[in-house]
Chains A and B, each alone.
Chain A
Amino acid sequence: MSRDVVAVKDLHKTVAVGFRRRRVQILKGVNLTVAANEVFGLLGPNGAGKTTTVKVLLGLMRPTSGSVELGVEGLGHVGYLPENPYFYDYLSGREFLGFCARLFGEDAVTRRERVEALLEDVSLLDAADTHLRKYSKGMLQRIGIAQALINDPELVLLDEPMTGLDPIGRVEVKRIIQKLHERGKTVLFNSHILSDVHELCSRIAIMRDGRVIWTGSVDEALAEGETLEQFFVRAVQA
C-alpha cells in the first residue's frame, strides 16, 4: 500500500472578519488523504474551503484545531501555484524563475539548467526576457506553474491551474500534470473544470460548506452519475 503524502484530520479553521471581528468557521472538520503518486482533484463550489485547506497545508494559515501532515520533508519538496497568481511586475520570466530557484539554494549551474528547461516546458522561452507586467493572464499562469516546479517537488499543489488558459495552454498544463504523474510525483489540484478533472485525476474529493462530503475514484463517481458534472451537481445539492 502506498504511503500518504497528504493527511488532513478533522481540520477546523475559524477566522475573524470585519470591523467587529465576527468569527466565521471556514473549515468544519476536513478529513482527506492523498496517496503518493496520485493525481488528486479537490472539487467544490466557491467558498467550500478548498483554497483554505491548501493554505493550511502550506502553513500560510494555522489550523484552529485538527491536524495536517505532509509526507515529504518540509516545504523544500512542495510546489504551489496560487489561484490567479500575480508576480513581480519589473522582473522578466527568466529572472523570476532564477529568483525562485535561489530561494531553494540551487547552485548557479543547476539553476540555469532548471530555469531553461522549465521555460521550454511551459512554452515561454520566447518571452523569457519580457517583464512580467507585459505577460497575458495565460502566460502568468504558465510562469506560475513553472515556479511551482522549480525545486522538482515531490508534492505539487495547484489552485485552479487551468484558469485563464486558452485551449492550447490547457493542453500544455494537462501534459505537464501527466508528466509529473509519470515521474512519480503527487499532484493535488483544485478545479472547476470537471472535464480536466475527469481526464487527469485518479481520485477526487468534493467539498461543500467546509467539509469533505465525498471521496473516491473517478470511476466510482461515474458509476453513480452519467457524467462527472452530473455527479458533482447532485453531490453538492444533496
Chain B
Amino acid sequence: MRQVRAITVNTFRETIRDRVLAVIVVFALIMIVGGLWLGSISLGEQGRMMKDFGLAAVTGFGLIVAVFIAAGLVHKEVEKRTVFVLFSKPVSRGAFIAGKFLGLCGTMAVVLAGMGLFLFALVGVLDGRVSGMVLVATAMIYVQLLTVMAVTIFFSTLGSAILASVLGICVFVAGQLSQNVLQLTRLGKNPITEALSWVVYVIIPNLSAVDVKAGVVGEQTLAWGQIALWTAYLFAYMVVVLVLAAVVFRRKEF
C-alpha cells in the first residue's frame, strides 16, 4: 500500500507539472470561451449553446489528456528505463499499475475541475444564475475518462504508446455508440449482427449510460438511480481492466 501511495504521489507530481498539459488546458479554456461567440449567433439560445459547446470542449480536451498521458505513462517508464530503478526496489508490478492509474486520476481531477469550474462560472455570468448541473456533467465526464484511461493503460502494457492512444480513442467512441448500435441491430432482427453487437456491448464499456450532457441542456430527463448503477459498473470495469494490465505487465522482462 505504501508503494502504491508513493507511486501515486510521484505520478501526480510528474504529470501535473508537464508543460504539455498546461498548454492543452489553456487551449481548452480558450475553446470554452469560444462558446460565447457561438452563443451570440444562436438566437436566444446563448446559455444552452454555451453549456453544450463547453461540455463538448471539456470532454474533447479531457479525452486528449486522458488518452495521451495514460498511453505514455507506462510506456515512457519502460522506454526511458525508469522501471529499472523502480523494479530493483521492492515494488510489485500491480502496485506500479495501481499507483500510475491513481496518480493520473488525481491529475485528471485537477484538469477537469479547472475546466468545469471555469465553464460553471461562465454559464453563471451568462444566465445570471448558477447551474450545478454543469458540475455534475463534468463529474460524469470524469468517470467516463477514468474508464478510458484504465483501458489505455491496459493497451499500453501490450504495445506501443501510439497504438494504445488510438485504441483508447476507439474505445471512447465505441463506448458512446455501443448501446445505440445494440438497439438498432435488435430492430433489424438479424440474430448474427445482434449477437455481434451484444458481444461488443459487453466488452466495450457503456460510456453513454453515464453521459448526462443532454440532461444538462434540458433535452432529457435523467434517471439518477440508473446512472448510479452504471457508474458502479464502470468502476468495476476499471478494476478488471487494471488487474488484467497488472497480469500482462508481470510477465514482461526489461
Chain A: residues with CB nearer than 8 A to chain B? 15, 55, 58-62, 74-76, 78-80, 82, 84-91, 95, 99-100, 102-105, 144, 147, 151, 157
* 8 A-B contacts (beta carbon < 8 Å): A15-B253, A58-B87, A76-B89, A84-B81, A85-B85, A90-B17, A100-B89, A103-B86
Asked if A100 contacts B85 (CB within 8 A), the reply is: yes
Contact A89 B14 (CB under 8 A): yes
Of the residues A58, A89, A99, A157, contact of B6 by C-beta under 8 Å: A99
- Contact between B88 and A75, CB atoms less than 8 A apart: yes
Residue on B nearest A84 in the bound complex, by CB? B81
Instruction: Assess whether B87 is in contact with A99, with CB atoms less than 8 Å apart.
Output: no
Q: Is the beta-carbon distance between B10 and A88 smaller than 8 angstroms?
A: yes
Nearest 4 CB-CB pairings of A with B: A102-B6, A80-B88, A90-B17, A82-B84
- B189 touches A (CB below 8 Å): no
Known: A60-B253, A90-B17. 19 other contacts (CB 8 A): A58-B87, A58-B88, A59-B87, A60-B88, A62-B253, A74-B90, A75-B88, A80-B84, A80-B85, A80-B88, A87-B82, A87-B85, A88-B10, A89-B14, A102-B6, A102-B9, A103-B89, A104-B89, A147-B85
Q: Which residues of B contact A157 (CB under 8 A)?
A: 88
Q: Is the CB of A60 within 8 A of B254?
A: yes
| B18-36, CB < 8 A from A | 18
Q: Smallest Cβ distance from B92 to chain A, in angstroms?
A: 11
The tally of residues in B whose CB lies under 8 Å from a CB in A reads 25
Task: Indicate whether B158 reaches chain A with its CB closer than 8 angstroms.
Answer: no
Q: What residues of chain A lie closer than 8 Å to B186, measured between beta carbons?
A: none
B10 in contact with A91 (CB, 8 Å): yes
Q: Smallest Cβ distance from B85 to chain A, in angstroms?
A: 6
B87: chain A residues within 8 A (beta carbon): 58-60
Asked if A88 and B254 make an inter-chain contact with CB atoms under 8 angstroms apart, the answer reads: no
- Partner of B2 from the list A59, A105, A151 (CB cut-off 8 Å) is A105
Does B80 reach chain A (CB closer than 8 Å)? Answer: yes
Q: How far apart are the CA atoms of A80 and B14 in the complex, in Å?
A: 22
B3 within 8 Å of A by Cβ? Answer: yes
Contact A78/B88 with A61-B253, A87-B82 known, Cβ cut-off 8 Å: yes
Chain B residues near A90 (CB, 8 Å)? 13-14, 17-18
Q: Are A88 and B253 in contact (CB under 8 A)?
A: no
- Complex CA–CA separation, A90 to B2 (angstroms): 22
Contact between chains at B6 and A86 (CB < 8 Å) = no
Q: Is B5 an interface residue (CB 8 A)?
A: yes
Per the bound structure, the CA–CA distance linking A181 and B10 in Å amounts to 32
Contact A91 B13 (CB under 8 A): yes
A75 contacts which chain B residues (CB < 8 A)? 88-90
B56 contacts the other chain (Cβ, under 8 Å)? no
Among A82, A88, A89, A95, which residue has the most Cβ atoms of chain B within 10 A? A88
How distant is the Cα of A62 from the Cα of B6 in the complex, in angstroms? 26
- Chain B residues with CB under 8 Å of A80's CB are 84-85, 88
Q: Is the CB of A103 within 8 A of B88?
A: no
Choose one: A58, A62, A82; the contact of B81 (CB below 8 Å).
Answer: A82
B3 contact set on A, CB distance < 8 A: 102-103, 105
Contacting residues, chain B, for A74 (C-beta < 8 A)? 90
| Interchain CB contact under 8 A, B10 and A99 | yes
B91 at the interface (CB under 8 A from A): yes
A191 to B246, CA, bound (A): 34
Q: Across the interface, do A88 and B6 meet the contact criterion of CB distance under 8 Å?
A: no
B254 close to A61 (CB less than 8 A): yes
Q: Among the interface residues A15, A82, A147, A151, which one has the most CB atoms of the partner chain B within 10 A?
A: A82
**Contact, CB under 8 Å: B90 / A99:** no
Q: Whose C-beta in chain B lies nearest to the C-beta of A77?
A: B90
Shortest distance from the beta carbon of A54 to any chain B beta carbon, whole Å: 9
Nearest-neighbor residue (CB-CB) of B87 within chain A: A60
B13 and A95 within 8 A (CB): yes
How far does the alpha carbon of A80 sit from the alpha carbon of B91 in the complex, in Å?
14
Task: Provide the bound-state CA to CA distance between A105 and B88, in Å.
Answer: 15
Q: How far is the CB of A106 from chain B (nearest CB, A)?
A: 9
Tell me the complex Cα distance, A226–B49, Å: 84
Point out the residues of chain A lying under 8 angstroms from B83, CB to CB: 60
Query: Which residues of B116-173 have CB atoms within 8 Å of chain A's CB atoms?
Result: none
Q: Which residues of B have CB within 8 Å of A61?
A: 253-254
CB distance from B68 to the nearest CB of A (A): 16
